[in-house]
Amino acid sequence: MIGSLLVLGFTLSLDNFRTALAFGGLPMSWRRSAELALMFGFWDGVAPLIGILLGRYTSEAIGSTAEVAGAIALGAYGLYLVIHAWLTPPRSWAPRRP
């Protein structure tokens, strides 16, 4: 389990790495860089905690209706895709002549 969490954490941190690359090109003091790193670290720690708490609350609130609601939502989306595909005319993939 710890290995899966490490892989997930690394993958999710890549967006911060991309942002840090952009900030790296800006002239910044060491103090400002440390403040920025602390804010990124703080919110990367708080966001999963809030998500876990909200997820637990939501799962308790909707309880047993979650399975039924999920099946209905999935069926409705599948029905939408089938009807959309049926009503949309097929495209011609032949190249256009100049």
| Span 34-78, pLDDT tens digits | 998 899 889 888 988 998 899 888 878 777 787 788 889 999 999
Is residue 47 included in any domain, yes or no?
Answer: yes
Residue 95 lies in a domain: no
Secondary structure (DSSP) of 43-90: HHHHHHHHHHHHHHHHHHHHTTHHHHHHHHHHHHHHHHHHHHHHHSPP
Residue 98 lies inside a defined structural domain of this protein? no
The answer to the question of residue 96 being in a domain is no
DSSP class of 35: H
Query: How many domains does one find in the chain?
Result: 1
Q: Please check whether residue 83 lies inside any domain of the structure.
A: yes
Please check whether residue 93 lies inside any domain of the structure. no
User: Does residue 94 form part of some domain?
Assistant: no
The DSSP annotation for 5-30 comes to: HHHHHHHHHHHHHHHHHHHHTS---H
- Has this prediction a pTM greater than 0.75? no
Residue-range definition of the domain harbouring residue 30: 2-87
In a domain, 11, yes or no: yes
Q: Are 40 and 16 in contact (CB under 8 A)?
A: yes
At 35-44, the pLDDT tens digits run 988 998 898 8
